[in-house]
Amino acid sequence: MRPLTEEETRVMFEKIAKYIGENLQLLVDRPDGTYCFRLHNDRVYYVSEKILKLGANISGDKLVSLGTCFGKFTKTHKFRLHITALDYLAPYAKYKSTQDCRKVDPMAIVVFHQADIGEYVRHEETLT
């Protein structure tokens, strides 16, 4: 287990920022406790300080997971976000879900996009 290097942090933040944008600093700097990102076996875990100190007592080869797994770094050092991060990303999401659209104020703009099977073929360069 080790903290992330500068390069790894940057890659990870760039990926997460695509979903939550500037609210990422709320994840880094939390009012209710110190949380940090730690790397273990190529996976990034978002873990509170208390849990981290407890987890440090377990040897590396016996440690499976700690805190919440946000994602992993692939062999070519790209960052893949996992579904387990959803609980932390959802409250800060930039773009509203379909459920929220019902509660939004009358002047807000809502783009309702139903599945378009042909979109992958037509816009494959521009789709992220």
Partner 1 sequence: MEGQSVEELLAKAEQDEAEKLQRITVHKELELEFDLGNLLASDRNPPTVLRQAGPTPEAELRALARDNTQLLINQLWQLPTERVEEALVARLPEATTRLPREKPLPRPRPLTRWQQFARLKGIRPKKKTNLVWDEVSGQWRRRWGYKRARDDTKEWLIEVPSGADPLEDQFAKRIQAKKERVAKNELNRLRNLARAHKMQLPSAAGMHPTGHQSKEELGRAMQVAKISTASVGRFQERLPKEKAPRGSGKKRKFQPLFGDFAAEKKNQLELLRVMNSKKPQLDVTRATNKQMREEDQEEAAKRRKMSQKGKKKGNRPGPGGKRKGGPPSQKGKRKGSLGGKKPSGLPGLGGKRKGGQHQGGKRRK
Q: How far is CA 118 from CA 6, 114, 121, 126, 127, in A?
A: 40, 12, 5, 14, 12
Which pair of structure tokens corresponds to residue 64? 């499976």
Member of 15, 19, 51, 52 binding partner 1 (CB under 8 A) = 52
Among 15, 19, 20, 29, binds partner 1 (CB under 8 A): 29
Cβ-contact 71, 39 below 8 angstroms: no
Nearer of residues 49 and 119 to partner 1, judged by Cβ: 49
Pick the closer one to partner 1 by CB: 53 or 122.
53
28 binds partner 1 (CB under 8 A): yes
Stretch that binds partner 1, among 20-28, 88-96, 101-109, 117-125 (CB under 8 A): 20-28
Q: Which two tokens stand for residue 91?
A: 């409250």
